[in-house]
Each structure stands twice: as C-alpha cells, then as structure tokens.
A and B are shown apart, each in its own frame.
Chain A
Amino acid sequence: MAGSGNAHLRPPGEVVLRVEDLVVEFPAGRGRSVHAVSGVSFDVARGETLGIVGESGCGKSTTARALMQMPPPLRGSVRLDGLELTALRGEALRRTRRRLQMIFQDPISSLNPRRRVRDIVAEGPRVWGAGADRVDEMLTAVGLDPATAATRRPHEFSGGQCQRVSIARALVLDPEIVICDEPVSALDVSVQAQILALLEELKERYRLTLVFIAHDLAVVKNVSDRILVMYLGKVCELASGDALVERPAHPYTRALLASIPRGGLGLPPADQLISGEPPSPVTPPSGCRFRTRCPAATPLCAAEEPVMRRIGTDHWVACHHPQETGEILKPVEAPQVARAPEAAFPQPAEEAEDARVPKSPKVPKVPKVR
C-alpha cells in the first residue's frame, strides 16, 4: 500500500487526530475507479490549526469527509484520541461524530432553505436531547442576534451571515475538532477577514483544534500553524506557513506560490508555473503523481514514488528532487495602496513597509515633501 510515507507523523500521544494511509476511491464505471485520496497521512495536535491546500479535485473535501466517515475511507486509519473511527459503525459512530464538526464551503447550500436559522443551530442539541441554552450563546458569539435568527430563514441572510450560522451550528455541540472545508472562499474579502478573525477568536475561546481547508494559500497561512500541501490525492509537503512560503521545496508548492496573482508586478517566473493538464484521477501517473507537470521531473520520478522525508525543522517533503532556493515569494505580494496615516485605521501596529514605487509613466516623479 504505497502512500507518501508516514515519517512526518508525531507520536500518537502528542496528537488528538491521527490519519494514516487514508484511501478513498469512487467507482468510475466499467470497473475503474477514481483515486480521490491515495494514502494520505497527517496528524493534528490539540489546539493546533492544520491548513490543507491543494488544487481543485486533489481530494481535500474527500479527505475532510473521510475524517467524518461520510463515506468511510476504503482503507486507512482515522484515530481521534486513540479511538479508531473507521472501525465504528451505527450508533457508536453517530455518537463519536459529534466530537468532530464541519463547516462547509457554500454558506447557502449548507443551510436547509426551509428551516429557520435558530432551528438550524438548535438541531444539534435537539438531536442529542440537550437543552437549547447554548444556542443563543453561540448565535451571539458568532455575531448574530438570536431574536432575528428565530424568525428568519437562510435566504434572508447574506453569505457571510450564513457562514456565521454554519459556524454556530458546528460549535454548539462543543466539538473537539472543527473541519473547515473552504469556509471563506465564497465570501468577500471584508467578510472573509471578519470570518477568519471570528474563527481565530472562537478557537481561543473554546480551545478548538482546527483542520482548515482552503485553496488560498495566504488565507491558510494566516490561520494555520502547519500547512499540508496536497496534489491529486497525495501529500506533497508539510511545514509551518513561514517555512513553506519562504523555503518551498516541492515543485508543486512552488508552482502554487507562483500562480498567486501579484497585482501588476508582471508575470511570475515562467519556470515555476505549471502547464499541462491535471491528469485524471482515474489513471494517475506512476511514481510521483506530479511528474506529468513537474518542471524538475526525471526518470526516477516515474519509476518510484517519493516518500515524505525531513528537510528542515518540522519541514517535510515528498519529492525526489526538492528545490533549494526560495526566491519565489520575493516578487509575490498583494497590491499595495497608498497609505493613509496609521492613526486613521485603529489597527495592529506591525505592517510590512511598502517600498514599491508606482511605475506609471504618466506621472512625473517628484521628491516627497515633508
């Protein structure tokens, strides 16, 4: 059972969630199958946030659902505090599931359109015969007015508010782990910032452990302690956000960084970008699954699957030829604005100095007046 190795896993005692060699396949007709997740391993320590990034269809959502046993993985192990979830069935599984909760990508479709918002949040306590006293507390905690929620249905709320409802619904059962599958990707930047801040705040307040799945590396980095990069059902790289962004070692991670729009700074380094088409998960490439698009691929990559190995403090990569230099990020930066005085925005103090010079030729440059 080839996976990407388990060298990066910490001792079971240190972690709350330990996933080993997770395999999920879907039937694809004519006896073939979609290899959605093929041997993914990771772990999460209590109170930690693990970010998962990867390309569309790389199996992030499938992994998230496999953790919840919806559906259970084909093979592999998911252990919550040492309890093997894949072995649970029926009633025992149902009882355990509440300890893990999920927040979904689409704020609208994850709420039943025919029910009132407060009832949606109260559903968990109702299922478990618990009192509804935490319902209003949660609604308030996520910034909603319980009285309004009692009378309105989801379509009367904005996307950001619906996502707050989802968060309240997930937290009302006091879960240990919350799996967030793209919780902010359908939201506006302003609301995204609000929801991210809310998640961080609630994580502190309720001592949550988060698995945060998103496609936006900057967003993931903002909330995560460690980041796992996935490609086509496999793990590529695992590191802290800073290490990943400063010293990306896997060619795919580098491509990911290179594809981030850099706002008028010109095209990214072409050698880092990936072209070609993502291979079909029905017939994934032999050896390293990234080899068909990898700028650094060699014959070894087709013959042998790379396994996770350590290349730095808590920095792991599954690649035969990990890259050394980390020059990708340099030019990568979100567009900067003309800054108003700091005092105007009552905001955190530290902020990257903006040294860029506007490059429009239309405006003559003059020395700044003091």
Chain B
Amino acid sequence: MRRRLGWSFWLALGWITLILAAAATADLLPLPRYDETLVGPPQAGPGPDHPFGTDGLGRDVLSRVVYGARVSLIVGIGAVLLGVLFGAPLGVLAGYRRRATDAVIMGVNDIALAFPALVFALAVVAFAGASLLNVLIVLGVLGVPAWVRLVRGATMVFSEREFVAAARVLGARDRTVLWREVVPNVSLPVLSYAFIGMAVAIVAEGSLAFLGLSVQAPTPTWGGLINEGRPLMEDAPHVVLIPSFVMFLTVLAFNLIGDRLRALTDVRQSNLEPVRRRQADRLPARPHHVEEDVLLQVADLRTHFTTARGAVRAVDGVSFTLQRGRTLAIVGESGSGKSMLIRSVLGLTPEAGTRRGGRVYLDGQDLTELDDEQMRHILGTRMAAVFQDPMTALNPVRTIGTQVMEPLMVHLGMKRKAARARAAELLASVGIPEPARILRRYPHQLSGGMRQRVTIAMALSCGPDILFADEPTTALDVTVQDQVLRLIRRQREERHMAVVLVSHDLSVVAEWSDEVIVMYAGKVVERGPADSLFERTRMPYTEALLRAVPKLTDPAHHPLRLLPGRPPDLAHPPSGCAFHPRCPYARERCSQEEPPLFQAETLDHLYACWYPVGTGAGVVETSPELSGASGTAEALKAAEEAAELEEAAEAAEVVAEAAAELETTDVIEGADSRGR
C-alpha cells in the first residue's frame, strides 16, 4: 500500500498550499487593493512594481489574481463539500442497503445525471442572481449525483469484503457497521475524487464567470479576469494570460493530487508494476555459467528489501533451470519467499527500496538487462502469470469481458469483435459454462473457482512459453483443482510450454510436477526430481511439511503432527541453518554453520542439511542403537565436514559409522529407519 507519491504530487500540493495561503492572507499581504484603480500605468506589462502588470484601469493584476483565488477556491472546496455532504450518505445507503433503497436512489440519481447541468446552472444563476452563494449552491447541487454514484460504487466494493459480514455477524447495528467498518475505507477513494471534483468546480465557476454569471464586479474572479481582459488581448495579453495560466496550474494540481491518491488505493496497479530498473539497486551476481538449451535459467537470484527492520532477504541466492514441457514446483510455507521468487523472475518486485541480484535468462537472453518496455512485452507474450487471489488480479469494477479482452487487444492487436469471440473461446476452454453470459459479469458475481479459471484464461490468451502459477488452486476444491491442474498440464503439452507451479500443497506438487524446489527463509533447502524428493526426503523441513498434511486414511479427530512455530523473520534469520529453531534433529552445529547444498544419491537431488533424514546422520546421537542405518556418500561428506570443524570425538563416531555402512551398502531404500 505504501507507495511513493512522486515528486509531481508534492509539487502540486505545494502549489495549492501557496494559492490557499495567498488567498487566505490576501488582506495582510503588501498588495494594492484589488479594486484600486491607477496604482500604476494602465496596461503595463509585468515589472518590478507590479510583478503581473496592471489591467486596463491600472489595477494590480497580481492582487486581482490573489483575491480572485478566493472565489475560485471557495467555490471549488465549497461545492465539493456540499456534494459530499448530500451525495455521500445517499451513496453509502444505496451501496450498503442495495435492493429497493438502491433502486430508488439510483433511479432518481440517473434522472438527475441526465439533466443538462450547465443549462440548469445558467438558468438558476440568471434567475436567482449572480452571487457567490448562488454559484456555490448550484455547483454543489449539480455535483451530488456524481458523488452518489461514486460513493455507492466504493461502498459496494467494501461491503463485499468479509470484515463487513463479520461485523454484522457480531450483531452490530447497521449504523455501527457503516460508521466503523465501511466509511473509513470508503473515505480514501472519496478524498481522491474530492480533489478532482474541486478541479471540475473551479473550471465550472470560471466558465460561469466568463459568461458574467458568477460573482459580480468589482469582486475579481479568475473567469471574470479572463473575460475582462479579452478586449486587451492584443495590447496587453498578460491581463488574460496570467489569470488563465494560474487557473490552469491550479486545476492541473488538483487533478494530479486526486490521481496520485487514487493510484495509492488501486491494488491491482501496486501489485503488477514492473520494477523501474534504475531504482532497484543491484547486488553483485556470483559468477555462473550460462547454460544452453534451457528455456529458463535463474542464477543466484536475490531480492532484498530495505525496511525499517533491516534488510529483508526475501530471495537469497536461488538458482535453477527449467526445460520446455516440464513443470517445476516451488513449495514452502508462506513467507518462505516462493511468491517473491516468482515475482523476481518476472521482474515484478516492488520498486522502492529493493536490491536485486542475479540473472534470469530466457532462451539465453538476460531479462535483467531489459528496460521496462521490453520487459512488459516479454510479460505480455512469453511469460504469463496466475496469482493466488484471483480477486486482486481482477478489477472489481470492470466486467470479465473487458478484462479478458484487454491483453488480446493490447498484445495481439485484435479488434474488439474478434477479441470478444476469442475471449469467449478462451473461457470455454478453461471450462466455464455459458461464456457469453460470464463475459458480462463482474468478478464478485463468480465463485472462486470461476474467477481462477478466468485469470488462467487471461494468462494463456497470448500463448506464453512459461506459465507461472502462484498457488493457483489454493482456494479451490479438489474436483476443480484437479481440473485446473489438468487444464494447466494440457495447455503445457499443447503449447509445449513450461510451468512453474507454486504451491504449499505437497500432494498437488507430488502429483503434478516433474521437479521440486523446497524453499525456506528465501533459500533453496532441497531440490530434485519429484519422485526422489518425496520418496527419499533428506531435509527435515520437507519431512515436517509432508507430515503436517491431514490424511484421508486417518480417523476423525486424529491429532495432526504439528510443525511448531512459524517461518523466521527474514530480516533476522536464525544463524546457521535457518530451520534449526523448529527442527527436531537440530544439534549444536546447526545453529553455528549454514549447511551448503549437498548432493544426494539420486542425480540432481540436492539438500541443505547437516543431519539429513533417513541417512543415519541425523539419528546418530539420539538413537545409537540404530547404527544399522545405512550410510551414504553425503553422510560421509557431512561427517567429514564435521571432522574439520567440530569436536573430534563426535566426528570420529560419525565417520566410523559412515564407513561401516559403506561396506554393507551404498543405498538405503526410503531409509525407513523407524521400521527397524
């Protein structure tokens, strides 16, 4: 949420503050009175005495512009306040109550919106007299329908959120729910539009003044100044140009502030903006070899965030390769850096305070060297992503149709009609019934499974080479999960693409992937072919994850095996092996030295652990009677490492044991040491 507002925002805010301050303190400023004639020669250009020059009657233009700001600002702010005062409660009521209340309010509102507003304003002001109050009231009232509509929309969005339902479940009265749950959330979007509304009101007042229908002379208004200066356009253009320019800047500033505030609330945008490369510091990459014939190679990828708590190492030196037609799964608890790894590969990490390192090669091309525009193109056409929460990937106020059609029109240059037809086909191909009907719906009207299918359809629309799926089925039930995963696999085969599947569900990973990466605290702790990794698990963390899953074969109320604690704070990861505070096998060495990636007996199977599961190395001390647990190369390796660094006695024991095992066998099957 905390996004940078940018210098333009602060500049605009500065300008408005300046105008406000000048207007408020006009009487105290060392300025001639706005209506005092002949304070200087008439029609004089800007000069030291009169920085903005003088008008046809020799009045000081600066003074008139400053006093004119009063009218503009009072009308701008006043009209918005008036509009919000009447529009917001009606909008909240309509959006929260829905049904009949909504129908009545919106019915009246739509009629009001259809009214020719300016004509109405002209008529009223002409009839009731042109005074500041009349202008303010007319503009304020005219703004009400727009406010009703806006606030109703925002209210609807937040009323969908579960915390509102939760408050009602607690038995809170509607009044309380509205006031404490809905209004605080609606106020930010309202604030952003308030600024835009002020700009609109200022322009409207200017137009009225130009027609002579605003505050009457001699009180200056910006519109009035421009009108008065018209005849002097040739001799003294500054009389028109200066107030025009001031008004232009002010309107621009209000719009800008409104826009930036709105961007702040826009979840979709804040999630999916590619990094601005110059703002992300680069960490040096370790030397590596760029492999040929792989679709994707990630080398020593690192993403660190600078936060108040220190550097958060979200992704810390991850390397892997991926071939076409393969599925790579990334598992780990939330906070282990899975999603950030994917985002780093895609270049979608937040921009501020990010330090990135490492390389990402797509078909040998280094993506970390590309600029924003090139990267956007790659993302649109060669790499696509599906994220966990389909609701944040979909814009709640746009129809499914517009959203599915957008990439087709932007990246493939399709015409609207063709895009609509293709969108319907895509929805049908992901198993959505009645695609034509769904295209006209809004995201909240679909169930979770449907929404996820829609985002998959969007991701596949431009025929990517790699599909990144971040927890695509987490919120779905098994039949749908099965279909979605089947769908992804089928698309993978048809399009000969590769898939990177992030999941915390190990059974999904075991069934649907070829290779697996287990992440903990931003690092790869075990990696290998799926069958080897699941059947000859080495890393205690992987084992613990596997054991925490409830099994269908267990009886009801069977106590689950808990993996205690939570993943570490990535700003302060534990020393040594980051898993050691939670690891049942941890020994002294674990908290002191970080284990490197060891090679397991199966090809390509790597793990980071000093006392791996199922090799005997992990159980030496706790169960000396298990000396039969067969040793393997890595047990020996671990032992050798230990010999160098730890107490000789312990190491000697391990070495001796490992050596003994090597005589009998070099392999263990499933290392079912428990069965002994």
Contacts from A to B (Cβ < 8 Å): 53-57, 65, 68, 70, 94-95, 97-98, 100-102, 104-106, 109-115, 123-124, 127-128, 155, 158-160, 166, 169-170, 173, 182, 185-194, 196-197, 200, 215-219, 221-225, 240-242, 245, 255-257, 259-265, 273-274, 277-280, 282, 329, 332-348, 352, 354, 356-360, 362-366, 368-370
Contact = CB atoms under 8 A, between A and B. Distances in A.
B480 A56 contact: yes
Contact of B508 (A114, A225, A261): A261
A284 B480 CA distance: 18
A366 B450 contact: no
Contacts of A342: 674
B506 A340 contact: no
Contact of A196 (B485, B536, B560, B619): B560
Contacts of A111: 163, 166
B24 to A, nearest CB: 31
Contacts of A200: 557, 559
A155 B270 CA distance: 15
6 contacts: A106-B162, A185-B474, A190-B548, A190-B563, A264-B535, A368-B672
A110 B163 contact: yes
Contacts of A370: 628, 676
Contact of B334 (A115, A159, A282): A159
A256 B171 contact: no
Given A57-B450, A190-B563, A337-B537, A166 B334 contact: no
B553 A329 contact: yes
B510 A360 contact: no
A260 B550 contact: no
Interface in B472-517: 474-483, 485, 504-508, 510-512
B602 interface: yes
A197 to B, nearest CB: 6
Interface string B369-401: 000000000000000000001000000000000
Lowest 4 CB-CB distances: which A-B pairs, in order? Answer: A215-B477, A56-B449, A263-B510, A57-B447
B4 interface: no
A188 B173 contact: no
Given A105-B162, A362-B532, A370-B628, 18 more contacts: A55-B479, A106-B389, A115-B184, A169-B166, A189-B505, A222-B558, A278-B431, A282-B434, A336-B535, A338-B535, A338-B537, A341-B619, A344-B622, A347-B559, A356-B670, A360-B531, A360-B602, A368-B676
B562 A334 contact: no
Given A111-B163, A344-B584, A102 B169 contact: yes
Nearest to A259: B482
Nearest to A96: B171
Contacts of A115: 180, 184
Nearest to B676: A370
Nearest to A159: B334
Nearest to B451: A56
A224 B550 contact: no
Nearest to B428: A277
User: Which of B433, B560, B619 has the most chain A CB atoms inside 10 A of its CB?
Assistant: B560
A158 B333 CA distance: 11
B432 interface: yes
B537 A65 contact: no
Contact of A338 (B181, B530, B536): B536
Contact of A191 (B546, B566, B584, B585): B566
Interface string B431-443: 1111001000000
Contacts of B448: 56
Nearest to A36: B447
Contact of B556 (A55, A224, A262): A224
Contacts of B540: 340
Contacts of A219: 550
A6 B507 CA distance: 37
B566 A160 contact: yes
B662 to A, nearest CB: 11
A52 to B, nearest CB: 11
A342 B162 CA distance: 42
A370 B664 CA distance: 11
Contacts of A273: 482
B292 interface: no
Contacts of A70: 165, 168-169
B170 A333 contact: no
B288 interface: no
Contacts of A169: 166, 170
A242 B555 contact: yes
A240 B535 contact: no
B1 to A, nearest CB: 7
User: Which of A245, A278, A280 has the most chain B CB atoms inside 10 A of its CB?
Assistant: A278
A356 B560 CA distance: 21
Contact of A344 (B555, B619, B670): B619
Contacts of B476: 56, 215
A348 B482 contact: no
A188 B613 contact: no
A222 B584 CA distance: 24
B478 A216 contact: yes
B551 interface: yes
